[in-house]
Structure 1
């Protein structure tokens, strides 16, 4: 297995800049997620790492070797596509064994290796079946088997669960993560699904318009987003944003707007002008005693919790509260915000201001 290092990677298609100077490192054995909306550059980045596209500039290092201008065949990686890309005229066994046969491996070794992989994936009973009649889940397992049978340095996966229905997709996500843990393989996985990324990834790169917005472990990215885009893209519901004009001094521990004062983590940056206070729904609490007020416009029951939507003077707010808490649509209530979990953003740049709470994350993100 291998460490993968990306250094100022850029890709242009004519006048269109698809990837803009991306830099990050994937450590040996990590399950690494490339996350972002459609068209953000994540698949282009993966294809450059795999050798299916060549970068306009920048370097790609796999296991310490610079491979940016080498074709895929010289990188010792395995690629799993969304649409499986199986050979329809071959049965399962021949599909899995094809990479080994192409390398000239002896028949006995091929049989042993295919049997080992089939055991790992739980597909021993379908080895002699044609792939055409298989379920989507079994076809995905065969595609994975063909990838892992070679013991490559790294696995690259481009939305491999995208064609599955929601229930089976969740099941296969668990299986993929378990497979990764058993094998200890370096895996790079592209997805637009932030829940999938949070569920499976050791580290996440969040991309938007060809730019790496943030890089880190899932919990850090969720708790302390580096940009307003990340805060909105990660989380369901997304982070709430309260927009206001004001001044935040260096070492400030509170901000005031809307007739209320909010305690915040100590600010290590100063800022003035258009600002945004960000808070996750689970860190909003309803309290009649609170001075910042909102009118309840909706309540969505989710079993153990409910999502309450409020209109406020500085923007809509969603609160995740226990389902047994009684709320009345149309009534007005106060909102308390957990001061330990608030993020201030520069509304012009969209960047988070550095505070005592997020400085360790943002300095590495």
Structure 2
């Protein structure tokens, strides 16, 4: 398997820039997620890594070799598409063995290799069946088998579970992650589903409008979003944003929200004017003595927890609290925030102001 390194890669389609100067490194054996909304540039980035698109500029390294201008056939990678892309006139065995036949491998070796892959994927019982009558899950396993059988340096997957229903997608996501762990393969996976990315990925790149907004492990991206876009895109419900006019100096640790002093993590840079106070719903607590208050406008029961929506002086706010907390519509409740969990954003640029030195693992239970 291989390390993959992207350095200042850009892709233009005429006057439209799909990817803007992206740089990141995928370590050998990582399950790496390219995450973002439709049109953000994630699939274009994947296709450039695979050699299906050539970058306008920048370098792409696979296993230390610069391959940016080489076609896919010279990169020793395997690509798994969303729509399976199987050969309908072949049975399962024929689909999986096709790449090996194309390489001129001996029939006996092909049979052994296909058998090994089928055993890994749990599809030995359907090897002689036509692919047309298979379920979506089995067809996806066949597509994976065709990729695995070649022992490539890296696997590239473009929303491979997108065509499956929600319940089966979750099951297949677990299978894919388990398969990755068994094989230790370098895997790059494109998705627009933030839950899928958080569930499966070792590292995540979050993209928006062709720009890498943040790159890191799932926990850090959730707890310490670098931009307001990341904070809003990751999490369900997303982070709360309370708008206010104020200031904080470089190294400052307090702001005033509706004239109520609020302790915040040390700011890496000062800001003055329109700011945004960000807090995740699970980091909002109730406190009768808290001076900052909100009025209940709605509740959503989720079993062990409930989502309570408040109208506050700075905008709507959602709190995820235990379901045994009794609240009623119209009730005025004091709200408290753990200062370690707050992220301040410069509203104009959407950049987080918090200091790296205050970051740590808070969890998102």
Provide TM-score, normalisation by structure 1.
0.97
**How do 1:63-82 and structure 2 match up within 5 A?**
63-82=63-82
**Equivalent-residue separation in structure 2 for 1:122 and 1:357 (angstroms):** 47
8 Å contact kept, 2:340–2:358: no
8 Å contact kept, 1:224–1:358: no
Any stretches of 5+ residues in structure 1 without a counterpart?
A: none
Instruction: Quote the residue 2:32 is aligned against.
Output: 32
Matched, 1:58 2:61: no
Matched, 1:265 2:259: no
What's the Cα RMSD here?
A: 1.1
Give, in angstroms, the shift of residue 287 of structure 1: 1.9
**Counterpart secondary structure, 1:316:** strand
Provide TM-score, normalisation by structure 2.
0.97
**Counterpart secondary structure, 1:70:** coil
- Shift of the 163–335 alpha-carbon distance from structure 1 to 2, 3 Å rule, reads same
Instruction: Quote the residue 2:220 is aligned against.
Output: 220
Shifted more, 309-318 versus 348-357: the winner is 348-357
8 Å contact kept, 2:266–2:358: no
Any stretches of 5+ residues in structure 2 without a counterpart?
A: none
**Equivalent-residue separation in structure 2 for 1:250 and 1:88 (angstroms):** 63
**Equivalent-residue separation in structure 2 for 1:257 and 1:270 (angstroms):** 17
Shifted more, 262-271 versus 194-203: the winner is 262-271
Instruction: Quote the residue 2:303 is aligned against.
Output: 303
8 Å contact kept, 2:294–2:335: yes
8 Å contact kept, 2:33–2:201: yes
Instruction: Quote the residue 1:274 is aligned against.
Output: 274
Instruction: Quote the residue 1:173 is aligned against.
Output: 173
Give, in angstroms, the shift of residue 250 of structure 1: 2.2
Give, in angstroms, the shift of residue 288 of structure 1: 2.1
Instruction: Quote the residue 1:333 is aligned against.
Output: 333
Give, in angstroms, the shift of residue 356 of structure 1: 5.1
Instruction: Quote the residue 1:239 is aligned against.
Output: 239
**Equivalent-residue separation in structure 1 for 2:358 and 2:98 (angstroms):** 49
8 Å contact kept, 1:244–1:276: yes
**Equivalent-residue separation in structure 2 for 1:67 and 1:18 (angstroms):** 20
1:140-193 deviations in whole A, cap 9, x for unaligned? 000000000000000000000000001100000000000000000000000000
- Shift of the 95–61 alpha-carbon distance from structure 1 to 2, 3 Å rule, reads same
1:324-358 deviations in whole A, cap 9, x for unaligned? 01011111111101111111111101000132555
* Residues paired across the two proteins, number: 361
**Equivalent-residue separation in structure 2 for 1:188 and 1:152 (angstroms):** 13
**Equivalent-residue separation in structure 2 for 1:279 and 1:83 (angstroms):** 38
Give, in angstroms, the shift of residue 273 of structure 1: 1.0
**How do 1:164-203 and structure 2 match up within 5 A?**
164-203=164-203
**Equivalent-residue separation in structure 1 for 2:242 and 2:54 (angstroms):** 43
**Equivalent-residue separation in structure 2 for 1:206 and 1:100 (angstroms):** 35
**How do 1:100-111 and structure 2 match up within 5 A?**
100-111=100-111
Matched, 1:127 2:156: no
Instruction: Quote the residue 2:350 is aligned against.
Output: 350
Matched, 1:149 2:149: yes
**Equivalent-residue separation in structure 2 for 1:354 and 1:71 (angstroms):** 43
Instruction: Quote the residue 2:90 is aligned against.
Output: 90
Instruction: Quote the residue 1:48 is aligned against.
Output: 48
Give, in angstroms, the shift of residue 254 of structure 1: 1.4
Moved over 3 A (4+): 356-361
